[in-house]
Amino acid sequence: MQQKFLPYGRQLIEDDDIEAVAAVLRGDYLTTGPTVAAFETALAARLDAPFAVACSSATAGLHLAAMALGLDQGDVAIVPANTFLATANAIRYVGADVVFSDVDPDTGLSTATHFEAATKKASGPVKVILPVHFAGQAQGPEEIRKVAERQGAKIIEDACHAIGAEYDRNGVRSKIGACLDSDMAVFSFHPVKTIAMGEGGAVTTRDAGLAEKLSRFRSHGMVRDATRFSQQDMATDTSGGLNTWYYEMSELGFNYRASDIHCALGLSQLRKLDRFVAHRNDLADHYDHLLAPIASVVRPLRRIAGSSPAWHLYVALFDFQAIGKSRAQVMAELQMLGVGTQVHYVPVPHQPYYRALYGNGEYPGAEAYYSRCLSLPMFASMSHDDATHVVDSIVRVLNS
């Protein structure tokens, strides 16, 4: 029997997810309705955060977070060199500058030491640091917060990989997204992530003022709260009563709303988060065991002490030089054996846009990580047998 193809990531949609979306389709609200609020309430409760604001994507969430902090030209944000483009791009959307921090070559994560070093390269005030919980691990949130405090900077966690992850905080298990060591945390619900909305994201925070700004900026900057109106002559009728149709826009916003359709799927998937995280973590443990005999040439990311990961990616580090094959060749041969792989990520400062803007910086950790990384299949419907097939296929490629 031919082996099924295993992509590097895939959503798991079940009958109750389909019914949740169908119920919205049969209802009165396809967008800006009660399911959005229900999802936000459930997400905030699950992550131990007072506020959650749903939006159309995590990229939108990062942009909204930058806007909510008032970042502008002349401000500087510190962003890890190893991340998806959106983390840095959201800073550029508001006109601020990016300084890239290097990363640990064995985890792909920036440590507090990396962030501290990056602050010394900033040409202006460092207003925000953006730790990226790459692959689902968190690297020292408390230590990174101390770096930010010394700079008078805020923290936006890029937690797009890490819903369900936790870390040890003063001996207490704390959830990523509770924002105990940050100002905001941004999540992604893209189909390859742990839970899916199709497209969608959210921002959590403990700050009511930031939550209000996030909500306002995601909907064109509009307000309908009469206490915030500045043009009372337009807001009221001749008898002094409020014009029910009236709204104001004092600041520019965007259409970054999430629909009830997407939030219905997100709400249904959120109920399965513990199951999905447990299964992904079990797969990671199984991969670790299977790779142990070939660890001299293929090994997992180093595990972070004090971090309880929620694995979004299973990244293996390959010694392609010792193997005697290029990464492209290994990927192609695995593809022929039914195994899909991916590279996460090309270092962002090496992208043409950022090289043209900031020149050719040196990021030895990110470059060493990038030269070896390959993401193996990891998703909720995978079995141990599937993971075994992946590693057996890797061994075949090594020996061919």
Which CA distances in Å does 135 have to 120, 158, 159, 193? 27, 11, 10, 10
List, for residues 56-67, the tens digit of each pLDDT value. 999 999 999 999
Domain range list for the chain: 15-270, 273-399
Which ranges in 169-323 belong to alpha helices (H)?
208-217, 232-235, 260-270, 273-291, 320-323
Is the pLDDT at 153 greater than 90? The verdict is yes
Average the pLDDT over 81-102 and give the result: 98
- What amino acid is encoded at 330 in this protein? V
> What is the pLDDT at residue 238?
83
> What is the pLDDT at residue 10?
96
Average the pLDDT over 101-116 and give the result: 98
**How open is the CA angle 272-274-280, to the nearest 5 degrees?**
100
One-character DSSP codes across 77-113: EEEESSS-HHHHHHHHHTT-EEEEE---TTT----HH
- Give the architecture-level CATH label for domain 15-270: 3-Layer(aba) Sandwich (3.40)
**Alpha carbon distance 135, 204 (integer Å):** 19
Cα dihedral 184, 350, 138, 53 in deg (nearest 10)? 20
List, for residues 316-362, the tens digit of each pLDDT value. 999 999 999 999 999 999 999 999 999 999 999 999 999 999 999 99
Average the pLDDT over 145-172 and give the result: 97
> What is the pLDDT at residue 93?
98
For the domain made up of 273-399, give the CATH fold. Answer: Aspartate Aminotransferase, domain 1 (3.90.1150)
User: How much is the mean pLDDT over the chain?
Assistant: 97
> What is the pLDDT at residue 3?
72
Find, among 51, 117, 60, 50, the residue nearest to 87 by Cα: 60
Is the pLDDT at 1 greater than 70? The verdict is no
Which residues, in sequence order, are CB contacts of 335 under 8 Å at separation 6+?
341
Q: Are 146 and 153 in contact (CB under 8 A)?
A: no
List, for residues 378-400, the tens digit of each pLDDT value. 999 999 999 999 999 999 999 99
> For tokens 């506020």, what's the residue?
51
* Per-residue tokens: 302: 């180093």
**Alpha carbon distance 387, 370 (integer Å):** 23
Find, among 337, 333, 338, 336, the residue nearest to 318 by Cα: 333
Is the pLDDT at 2 greater than 70? The verdict is no
List, for residues 198-246, the tens digit of each pLDDT value. 999 999 999 999 999 999 999 999 999 888 899 988 999 988 889 989 9
Average the pLDDT over 271-298 and give the result: 98
**Alpha carbon distance 305, 125 (integer Å):** 31
**Alpha carbon distance 142, 41 (integer Å):** 26
Find, among 338, 320, 321, the residue nearest to 330 by Cα: 320
